[in-house]
Chain A
């Protein structure tokens, strides 16, 4: 077979999944091509110009610790940073940043172009080239044929995308861009089970037509917390966002015009995310709410475009304009781009193994919205894992996977491949059983070693990580070894301050766990030598480890008690059909998912206790004979 060009790895789509995949595969030494419909829109944010948020910020930190690029790019292009949940515990705090949309994509492209082994190509992929059950290349619309040993599909909403505004529908991957319809057909022909999902986006307004004074300003943090462990300082000039509200009369107009909405007229068949509802959905499902919150988010330093967060809609464009003007402060506002809904194809992620490779076709990997997820961060972490595993596949290295105990990335991938999706999947902290262990601030502690072993973490980052690890160990020592005894004068002062008995002797580590003891309080009690040069982020991590250790132990006890068999491995060649006592339905569920541990099997929806114990009996009997 002859190819116009040949690579080790080809990544289709240059969104957030594709960029991570291509960068990782290339840096792992595989010659890699990143193919996109429009090279000017690499790393484009299709929806809101923001990265992070609760659990999503955790993912970005994990990507960074593993050696991915999203965190560095947003740190250089973010125009408003906020650490969310500051008033809560460290495990549920998470960074979020508004991006300058144009800066983000130009910086992403710059980073990719500076990557050795990585070639950017523009073109439309129309088919996969298959040889002896393995994918060996792709065909482009312009007639070129590229060869590769591994292919990552990261097509986002472009896969058979269909855009809706009002009663008008047209094929498209994003407004103004064509859909990838041929590739969708190709996947269908190969027998992949394909479903339909939906998402939406709000209108963008002309900032010059907004009465800003009538909105409540929302400034960013004075001291921005970056995403990347490598970033010391946020350099971008920071901006404000603004908060406003809809009105009940606006709601009435929406309700009166529901027949114009493709969501309510039955035109849209795909399932949308419940946590990202359109304004139509909000008004209908929460009819008792007299107002809904809106955010005005400037899209960048050099544009008038403003993103109207909270007002996702697929109503007709002219109606959108009328509705916008009913919002206090937007009386004169003009829409630059109307909002729309988009339906797109996804492939049942239960087709995938833990390395994100399809079981149907060796060498083919899926990442991002094609797997039924939503969100840039969710896409990026899959892209990174798919890129790593595509390179590993080509290089004959063993697959890389993360356990749900050690990373949100692991939670997300295991959920996808074992549970499948019936609405766009978004990460939440509550999806992690070990939420307290998976903090944004300890992602380096959890994952940097993997990034280093893989070859994605460079020397300077590795040195930085080791230096921090040493500092944390010293700090931990200082917290344990600083003790206050009843006989000491300092003790009485402490007791008076905290108004509670502290026992005969208390360590600073124990003291720090008490309610109302702030990090600053702890800092001032540390030995002077330790205080000097102490970094706030180190103290926070140290205190978080200290705060949660007891809880993590008690949780581990409960989980060990109730789910003690979860770690039992299921041999990959195990024939479920051969196990007597399993119903056909259960066998089908198991075969579709192919769980690799008993715990994964246990979490498959619809498994009965009886079928689980049948499986358990079998696994137990094999445990020592394997």
Chain B
């Protein structure tokens, strides 16, 4: 029996999140999360820092509770980790448990284990049966819905390429007496490499991608005294930058990482752009220019009350959101009808959610990372990585000139993993492809 892990609280941001792990390895894995957990006691909560075993970097301060089987919810050893409710933290902890030997739970799997171990009775099972059925159907449909069906389309096209290779190799194995064109090893290698790349890129859009590793960089720019620092503080949610009424207060750039739906965003407040003779301020402006160059996205702040505040060093190649600040004051008639503006008040907080949404929309458009953000489900990511491993095995086997049936083991495994996301390919499906492709039969 394997050890399964899943986020037990709803996904997204919250005060806390609870990760639950169940199975024979649960305790073993937990002990690797922190040195404080070596002697973790049953039914006691332990406050500790979860650390990456390699770098000892602290992921989060968490509360770990151990419920020993069979006196647990599933009847097995169960560990509950309460961490802070940030999707980034949750993912890091989940990834860590998986790297230590756990596997992402399928839909309803905790409940099934509880059932198997008679922790719930048949009446309770009847009650939750429909719930699990709904979840399972939802899991398959999820792929179809994800980002407008793009995930399932992407996987379908990957599967199509993979199946074309399987068809060639299967035909060579099964129909040796038929007059088939010999399978071109070079082109098979090329196709498999491209399938592997596709899967890598797709999986990469989940966690290994740059979004999660380093986040994106957003620079707040604008003329002096339009409220850049106020906006910065509003987004950072505390008074990080010094705000005064005097134009040119911010002399240096100031950066802070914020978490936007699980994506780290490095927010940079910059000095207002204007002609100046002040040496320090002009140094600041130079840094501002550099911040604009470095940024993935620029928030260009405009003072709603001052139509003269036009811009200033507009880099056409830079993705920009134009933010009209101070909308709590009288808005200059020049801006009343203008579109493509996000209207906010950094002072009152009005419109800040719209701005967050606009930044997220920009992220999801994929301009930051060409691979987009297709994969958002940890289980899907896990399956994709498994498929990728299998493909690499197949490519290795091909290079070693191993016989087709060995290469096919890995290819069928890969197809099975992909099938868990979008629906399985049956033997009949593959045979149909074979007969449609080749004239088989004496």
Contact = CB atoms under 8 A, between A and B. Distances in A.
A565 B440 CA distance: 36
A614 B117 CA distance: 17
Interface stretch (B77-85, B88-96, B217-225, B404-412): B404-412
Contacts of B400: 515
B82 to A, nearest CB: 28
Contact of B136 (A310, A430, A580, A613): A613
B430 A613 contact: no
Contacts of B401: 515-516
B133 A558 contact: no
Interface in B106-149: 107-108, 111-112, 115-118, 120-122, 125-126, 128-130, 132-137, 139-140
Nearest to B109: A564
A620 B116 contact: yes
Given A53-B177, A555-B413, A610 B133 contact: yes
Contacts of B125: 617-618, 620-621
Interface stretch (B57-65, B168-176, B237-245, B249-257): B168-176
Contacts of A429: 173-174, 405
B409 A555 contact: yes
Interface in A463-520: 515-516
Contacts of B175: 54, 275
Given A54-B174, A54-B176, A609-B137, A274 B409 contact: no
Contacts of B428: 605
Interface string A606-626: 001111111011101111110
A624 B430 contact: no
A433 B130 CA distance: 31
B403 interface: yes
A277 interface: yes
Nearest to A555: B409
Interface stretch (A137-145, A176-184, A289-297): A289-297
B427 interface: yes
Contacts of A312: 442
Contacts of B416: 558, 562
B330 interface: no
A622 B440 CA distance: 47
A277 B441 contact: yes
A558 to B, nearest CB: 5
A289 B441 CA distance: 14
Contacts of B441: 273-277, 282, 310
B420 A617 contact: no
A313 interface: no
A577 B357 CA distance: 49
Contact of B405 (A428, A435, A516): A435
Interface string B15-55: 00000000000000000000000000000000000000000
Contacts of B408: 430, 435
B108 to A, nearest CB: 6
A84 B172 CA distance: 12
A275 B435 contact: yes
Interface in A93-139: 96
A217 interface: no
A617 B441 CA distance: 44
B404 A92 contact: yes
Q: Which of A48, A88, A276, A295 has the most CB of B within 10 A?
A: A88
Contacts of B386: 558
Contacts of A91: 405
Contacts of A292: 179, 439
Secondary structure of the B contact surface, majority rule:
helix
Contacts of B431: 428, 430
B354 interface: no
Contacts of A275: 175, 435, 440-441
A293 B132 contact: no
Contact of A580 (B117, B118, B129, B409): B129
B116 A562 contact: no
B394 to A, nearest CB: 12
Contacts of B174: 54-55, 92, 428-430
Interface string A55-85: 1000000000000000000000000000011
Interface in B160-212: 170, 173-179
Contacts of A562: 416-417, 420
Interface string A419-445: 000000000111100011000000000
Nearest to A514: B400
Contact of A430 (B111, B129, B137, B430): B430
Contact of A621 (B122, B134, B404, B409): B122
Contacts of A293: 178-179, 442
Nearest to A85: B176
Interface string A261-291: 0000000000001111100001001100100
A48 B177 CA distance: 14
B179 A617 contact: no
Given A551-B409, A562-B420, A431 B133 contact: no
A609 to B, nearest CB: 4
A430 B427 contact: yes
Nearest to B122: A621
A286 B118 CA distance: 58
Contacts of B103: 561
A293 B181 CA distance: 12
B233 to A, nearest CB: 48
Q: Which of A312, A611, A612, A620 has the most CB of B within 10 A?
A: A620
B136 A612 contact: yes
Interface string A322-348: 000000000000000000000000000
B107 A613 contact: yes
Interface string A345-372: 0000000000000000000000000000
B398 to A, nearest CB: 11
Contacts of A620: 112, 115-116, 125
A219 interface: no
A581 interface: yes
A515 B440 contact: no
A624 B121 CA distance: 11
A609 B139 contact: yes
Contact of A88 (B2, B404, B413, B426): B404
Given A293-B178, A617-B132, A274 B116 contact: no
Contact of A614 (B129, B139, B406): B129
Given A275-B435, A435-B405, A609-B137, A561 B2 contact: yes
24 contacts: A54-B176, A87-B403, A88-B404, A275-B441, A282-B441, A286-B439, A428-B427, A428-B431, A436-B406, A515-B402, A551-B409, A561-B2, A562-B420, A580-B129, A609-B136, A613-B133, A613-B135, A614-B129, A616-B112, A617-B111, A617-B125, A620-B112, A621-B122, A623-B116
Interface of A: 48, 53-55, 84-85, 87-89, 91-92, 96, 273-277, 282, 285-286, 289, 292-293, 295, 309-310, 312, 428-431, 435-436, 515-516, 551, 554-555, 558, 560-562, 564-565, 580-581, 605, 608-614, 616-618, 620-625
Interface of B: 2, 103, 107-108, 111-112, 115-118, 120-122, 125-126, 128-130, 132-137, 139-140, 170, 173-179, 386, 390, 400-406, 408-409, 413, 416-417, 420, 426-428, 430-431, 435, 439-442
- Going nearest first, the 4 A-B pairs with the smallest beta carbon separation are A89-B403, A610-B133, A293-B179, A286-B439
